[in-house]
Each structure stands twice: as C-alpha cells, then as structure tokens.
Amino acid sequence: MADIPRRTDERTGLPPRRVTAAVLAIGAVALAIAGIVALGETVSRAITSTSPVAATVVGEYTEDHLVADRRGSRYAPFRYVIVELPDGTTADVQSDDLAVGADAEVYRSGTGDVFETPPQAPGAIEWAVCASAVAGAIALGAGSVRAMVPSRRRD
C-alpha cells in the first residue's frame, strides 16, 4: 500500500488562520458595540415615560436640515416653536400645527425632553435588529475562536 501523505496545516490560497481569526474578532467586537448601543437606545426609549404638560407657545423659528430620499439629499425647512412650561422653563418643539400665543398640551419625558405628541414605543423590527446584531456578534466571535482551533481530520 502506498504511503498517502498527511495533510498539513498549509492552506494554499487562503490567509493564515491568525489573520482570519483577527478579522473575525475585529468584526465581532465592532458588531457587538453597535448592537449594544442600539439595544441601549431601544431599551431607554421603551422605558421612558411621558406626562402631559400644559404650555404656552411664545415664539417660533425655522431651521434647515439635510433630508435624504431616493432622489438624493437636500435641505428642507423645519418649523420649531418655543413653549413656556409651567415651571418657567422654555423648550423647543418641532411642530407645524402649534400657533404662537396659543395654549398647548405637550409631553415631557423623565429626561426633560419635550414632544408635541407622545413618542411611540419601539416596534418589533427595532427589537429584531438589536437581537440580530447581538446574535451576529456572537456568531462572529465563535467563528474567530473556531478559526484558531486546528481541525482534527481523520484519514
């Protein structure tokens, strides 16, 4: 019987295992950071409570913001009103409906942010994106570890 040469760890045409593992580890860390940040923001939006507050509209101004759609990006004007809250503080609220001098009901969050309408809770798609980012980071981390472990092949 002829001697069959054993397969060595040389993989021609592929990068070394350490390079593959390092690239996968960097990807896993980057995706994990992005997933954790997105998950943190989603959780904070989910647990934020708002309460209605009576306010008086005392002023208005317009700001141009860059907006993008399928045809490209452009600057568009956004109308903001300045509302005076019962405690004497003022806040800026983006609104096309509130008139200067009118009394309005606005919503104040626990962090002090003021909204014209109460913000919506995160939906299922936002939770799924966060979960898939974390799962992807775990998969890349496992791939990185797997790339470093030499495979045992039986002849």
Interval 38-62 mean pLDDT = 90
Question: Does residue 5 lie in a domain region?
Answer: no
Tell which residue, 114, 73, 74, 77, has the closest CA to residue 96: 77
Question: Does residue 97 lie in a domain region?
Answer: yes
Question: Does residue 63 lie in a domain region?
Answer: yes
Do 56 and 102 have their domain in common?
Answer: yes
Do 102 and 59 have their domain in common?
Answer: yes
Interval 61-89 mean pLDDT = 91
- Between the ranges 11-20, 121-130, 143-152, where is the mean pLDDT highest? 121-130
Instruction: Report the pLDDT value the prediction gives residue 155, as an integer from 0 to 100.
Output: 44
Do 30 and 59 have their domain in common?
Answer: no
Question: Does residue 7 lie in a domain region?
Answer: no
Question: Does residue 70 lie in a domain region?
Answer: yes
Total number of domains constituting the chain? 2
Domain that holds residue 98: 49-118
Q: Which of 2-11, 13-22, 101-110, 134-143 has the lowest mean pLDDT?
A: 2-11
Q: What is the CA radius of gyration of the chain?
A: 27
DSSP 20-80: HHHHHHHHHHHHHHHHHHHHHHHHHHHH--EEEEEEEEEEEEEEEEEEEETTEEEEEEEEE
Interval 48-58 mean pLDDT = 89
